[in-house]
Amino acid sequence: MSGTDFDLIVIGGGSGGLAGAFRAAAHGARVAVLEPGELGGTCVNVGCVPKKAMWLAADLSQKLALAAKLGFTVSPPQFDWREFITHRQRYISNIHASYQQRMDANGVALLRTRGCLQSPDTVETSEGVRLRAPHILIATGGHPQRPDIPGAEHGQVSDDFFNLCEAPEHVAIVGGGYIAVELAGVLQALGSRVDMFVRGRRLLNGFDEELTLQLAEDYRQYGVRLHLDYPLRSVRQEGSKIVLRDGAGTDTMAFDALVFATGRRPNSDVCGAAKIGIELDVSGHVQVDEFQNTTVDGIYAVGDVTDRVALTPVAIAAARRLMDRVFGGKPDARLDYADIATVIFSHPPIGQVGLTEAQARLEHGDAVRVYRAGFRPMLHALADSPQRSLFKLVCVGAEERVVGIHLLGEGADEILQGFAVALKRGICKRDLDDTVAIHPTSAEEVVLMR
């Protein structure tokens, strides 16, 4: 295309940006990716991948404890955090290398620099070089934020967790969402004593309340101390310790570390989106339509920089469909954001797809029918562990169409994927009833509910 340097410039080399770059290149586009940091963005470097690695270590710790109860001769396990980090980072380095190989194979140009929009078709690098393309994809992600309270600088954020070389003896986690719940479980399993301070009345707003209440009980049994409806007002440091103060002026005990898991903000400012007239919401998210178009023609956005579902697979799927539309001759290609499954790697994991019971009743009223299965997984029953699972189906109408599947328990992360496909295809309760169970498993509870 005369007068341009590339067909597509991608600002940001995270999961969404790379997915878009690779798909566009596969369609024959000339693509440049501008990324000053490590490839893979939050997910690969300070999110999904290292988080899951730490969760696996924590899960092994729990399994060792259960093994000792079941007759195995198990010495008290000593976790060498630094040794495990070596393996974790080796795994991540392999991902970086794989990305670079794919870029080379697909002819994608990688520029290790920041990109800032100058006009609808021009991006300027940190070094002042201007590049032009008729299509630009914003995929700059987001970053963790601290609350606006006195002393917040004394707390760490979720990114800092991955710099730890050992478990803090006693840690306070502020927040009750995805990240707070996951970090609390990992730290408790790997040697910390964890207190969670949650502003709301329960964990995990947006998940089915019954399951979150059971998860809270599982965490209490596990040793995590929960402080719900906690109005944090300030933080102060006393020597090497950290103290929290609530709205009534009451201080907590002293902690060795404090981690804020109080939300994330989009990185829309670093790419100059507002400067060229791209509409942002009050939180700074880039506004996009159902086709990922921003309010400026030729500029698109995917991932956490938008206000859509903040999950890595969502960013990847949206970017691929976008490039199929722009370069692949599929003018109607777009991501269907309905019924997206998600899992939180708590202990045990919790996952859901579709509507919660509350959402279903709000939308369908008395046409809703709910099925539940509460049980102890076999391993925990054998070891007389108090951990319990809770599975739940939300159905609607005379045909009992399944509109929500909610799983809390061992293996929920692996079980949910297949049932998410079924829900997306419009299954009814009778379809589950007609399916022969696999016994003995936790998964069979989904098809045995009465």
Reported as a single tens digit per residue, the pLDDT across 358-393 is 999 999 999 999 999 999 999 999 999 999 999 999
pLDDT at 2 over 70: no
- Among 327, 352, 372, give the residue marking a domain's end: 327
CB–CB of 12/313 below 8 Å?
A: no
Dist. CA 38–CA 12, nearest whole Å: 10
Which residue has 């596969």 as its token pair?
Answer: 26
pLDDT at 232 over 90: yes
pTM greater than 0.85: yes
Which residue has 């002393």 as its token pair?
Answer: 151
* CATH number of the structural domain spanning residue 195: 3.50.50.60
> How many distinct structural domains can be found in the chain?
3
Three-class DSSP labels, 278-309: CCECCCCCECCCCCCECCCCCEEECHHHECCC
Dist. CA 118–CA 134, nearest whole Å: 13
Q: How confident is the model at residue 3 (pLDDT cuts 50, 70, 90)?
A: low
* Paired tokens of 195: 């207190």
Q: Are residues 362 and 311 in the same domain?
A: no
Instruction: Tally the C-alpha atoms within 13 A of residue 239's C-alpha that lie toward its C-beta.
Output: 4
Calculate Rg over the CA atoms of the chain. 24
Q: Are residues 81 and 214 in the same domain?
A: no
Averaged pLDDT for residues 90-108? 97
Range of 218's domain?
152-262
Dist. CA 400–CA 312, nearest whole Å: 32
Q: Are residues 14 and 133 in the same domain?
A: yes
- Among 212, 230, 262, give the residue marking a domain's end: 262
C-alpha dihedral, 46 to 137 to 177 to 357, nearest 10°: -140
Residue 440 has φ and ψ, to the nearest 5°, of: -90, 125
Query: What strand order describes the sheet that includes 368-375?
Result: 342-344, 350-354, 401-408, 389-396, 368-375
Q: Are residues 17 and 114 in the same domain?
A: yes
Q: Are residues 137 and 283 in the same domain?
A: yes
Q: Are residues 227 and 300 in the same domain?
A: no
* Paired tokens of 17: 């940006």
- Within-domain flag for 1: no
In the chain, % of residues over pLDDT 90: 98
- Within-domain flag for 2: no
Count of H-run helices and E-run strands, the chain? 13, 22
- Within-domain flag for 78: yes
Q: Are residues 133 and 280 in the same domain?
A: yes
Q: Are residues 302 and 314 in the same domain?
A: yes
Residues assigned a catalytic role: 439
Averaged pLDDT for residues 180-187? 98
Q: Are residues 183 and 50 in the same domain?
A: no
Closest by alpha carbon to 37, among 108, 112, 129?
112
Q: Are residues 19 and 138 in the same domain?
A: yes
The angle subtended at Cα 167 by Cα 54 and Cα 346, nearest 5°, is 40
- Within-domain flag for 201: yes
Q: Are residues 133 and 47 in the same domain?
A: yes
Dist. CA 395–CA 405, nearest whole Å: 9
pLDDT value for 4: 76
- Within-domain flag for 334: no
* CATH number of the structural domain spanning residue 347: 3.30.390.30
pLDDT value for 76: 83
Q: Are residues 131 and 30 in the same domain?
A: yes
- Among 327, 358, 375, give the residue marking a domain's end: 327
In the chain, % of residues over pLDDT 70: 99
* Paired tokens of 249: 């002026």
Averaged pLDDT for residues 325-351? 98
Per-residue pLDDT tens for 413-443? 999 999 999 999 999 999 999 999 999 999 9
The single-letter DSSP state of residue 169 is S
- Within-domain flag for 430: yes
Averaged pLDDT for residues 67-94? 94
- Within-domain flag for 336: no
- Within-domain flag for 332: no
pLDDT at 1 over 80: no
